[in-house]
Structure 1
Amino acid sequence: MNRIPPLGDAEGLWQAVLAAAGGRCQCRGTCGTSHEKDGDRCKTVHGRYGRRHGAGPVRLLAAPADPNGLLLPAHRAAALTKRELAAWCPECHDATRRAASKARHAAAPADEPDSLFDL
């Protein structure tokens, strides 16, 4: 299998984010789960098996630490520094991104009325 090399030092940045996180997901409940039983932090560890049977080893992501940053276009997210990134397990990342998107849509004012014709 051919592997496409990362752009710039993306691999080194990912490793630095994982090292700073201790190899553990840094979600503290923005995903909608309280994580209370785990010291208010997700218990998912990089390389260990996921919560679902047969899911295989979990691969943590380096993504924006700010939940709203998860909505950034890829080219802007790629420009973030190590301090602006956090380690996320796929489940917490996806749930936090959905919640941020939902909140953004709820806060956006309606541009136009919902009617097809002006009466």
Structure 2
Amino acid sequence: MPPLAGATLWQAVMAAAAGRCQCRGTCGKAHDKDGGRCPAVHGAYQAKHGRGWVHLLAAPADPAALLLPPHQAAALPKRQLAAWCRHCHDATLRTVKAQHATAAPAVEPDGLFDL
């Protein structure tokens, strides 16, 4: 079932992905058993990663773009979106946030209280 908002765009992304998660290892798993691509299929039952029904979401294809504010991510065109299962999306987002945090320059104190 498509989401309530943006159903047309979501359906276009899912059609381009053939209803399968498009992660190719950015989540930290190589997906070796499945040709390098996550095997999660929308609407299928997943026995691993929390068990339950797979519900794919359309989110930025570029992992760095997962850090975009929601209003900017929602404005991305179809060609910049990919189908993600929740597990791959969340794992990739954690990795990108960790990389961003370690790459951020250290904040120097302002000289207000220097003696």
What's the TM-score, normalizing by structure 2?
0.88
Residues 79-94 of structure 1: pairs in structure 2 closer than 5 A: 79-94=75-90
In structure 2, stretches of 5+ residues that fail to align are none
String of CA shifts for 1:25-64, please: whole Å, max 9, x gaps: 0000000000111000000000001233873211000000
What amino acid does structure 2 have at the position aligned with 1:11? A
Residues 64-103 of structure 1: pairs in structure 2 closer than 5 A: 64-103=60-99
In the alignment, structure 1 residue 29 sits paired with structure 2 residue 25: yes
In the alignment, structure 1 residue 55 sits paired with structure 2 residue 51: yes
Percent of aligned positions with the same letter in both sequences?
Answer: 65
What amino acid does structure 2 have at the position aligned with 1:110? A
1:53 to 1:14, Cα distance in 2 relative to 1, 3 A: closer
1:105 to 1:46, Cα distance in 2 relative to 1, 3 A: same
1:69 to 1:19, Cα distance in 2 relative to 1, 3 A: same
What's the TM-score, normalizing by structure 1?
0.85
Distance 1:35 1:54 in 2: 17
How big is the alpha-carbon RMSD for the aligned residues of Structure 1 and Structure 2?
A: 1.9
**Alignment: residue pair count:** 110
Distance 1:32 1:21 in 2: 20
Distance 2:68 2:13 in 1: 18
